[in-house]
Structure 1
């Protein structure tokens, strides 16, 4: 998916990005979630408490080209095979390409996940039950 305008929204987690701005994940779950920013290397684990957010400046990774914000419900989830939600983006000049995917299961099954652009010019991503609709 492709967008050049800011994103809003989400029920369980809120990914947010704006062209040459920030990627933000807000935890609206009842328990902490754990996030790693992964490109050519793995960033440190970030614990996001309920109601809190993680933010990073959108950037291009010279080794991989893109970044995946890997989110799990378990403390060491990136390394123990736990289900992951991957909010991935690639910064290409002033344009950001983005998507959601699950790996090793569906960690947010039962919770709506929505990435919604601030304007109607870019497509949103909606997983009403926390599972990819498999378009």
Structure 2
């Protein structure tokens, strides 16, 4: 996660709570629509919308174990995930790719800490000619007080996402109950 240094207190709190039991996650996929639930009851989470003419592949990655790949069908496939915690106290990274491997990825990263969800978009592991850059992507929160992130098609220097590890201005904090819509391709707004 790009913002782990900035949130040492959040990491300490998360490490303290990591000893508590956690709910099991479940994943399902039907016709390019997938969802993952944690049973956390926070009400917050993220839904990713694939507006591209090609399938997208997603992995929700914590610190251990292989994350199963989920396919988001072209032109309308979705993936939803309720906030969950990483057993080591760090964050979660949802890696998105246009090929069924974890190269050339756009990452939606988040860390749940108490009543706050810290989140960002990272382009650090994307190639120069990425479909994500060509088609654009955006994040819209359900809470109007939370910042949105928009990277227009062709914007190779989008200030709303991490381009280098020190772009800490791209990390945001919102109430944990906030739900985010991440659109790949046309914004949906």
The answer to whether TM tops 0.5 is: yes
Distance 2:78 2:132 in 1: 17
Partner of 2:139: 115
Asked whether the 8 Å contact 1:24–1:54 carries over to 2, the reply is yes
* Alignment partner of 2:47 out of 20, 24, 38: 24
Partner of 2:115: 94
- 1:132: Cα distance to partner? 4.5
Asked whether the 8 Å contact 2:46–2:80 carries over to 1, the reply is yes
Paired positions, count: 114
1:102-123, Cα deviation, whole Å (9 max, x unpaired): 2041341221211122343111
Distance 1:23 1:119 in 2: 13
* Alignment partner of 2:94 out of 65, 69, 90: 69
Distance 1:107 1:55 in 2: 21
Asked whether the 8 Å contact 1:85–1:107 carries over to 2, the reply is no
TM-score by length of 1: 0.74
> Unpaired runs of 5+ in structure 1?
2-18
Flag the structure with higher helix content.
2
Partner of 2:171: none
Matched, 1:40 2:63: yes
Partner of 2:149: 125
> Unpaired runs of 5+ in structure 2?
4-41, 161-189
Query: More deviation in 38-47 or 115-124?
Result: 115-124
1:52-80, Cα deviation, whole Å (9 max, x unpaired): 211122111122521000000001x21xx
Asked whether the 8 Å contact 1:84–1:107 carries over to 2, the reply is no
Structure with the greater relative contact order (CA < 8 A, sep ≥ 6): 1 or 2? Answer: 1
Asked whether the 8 Å contact 2:61–2:67 carries over to 1, the reply is yes
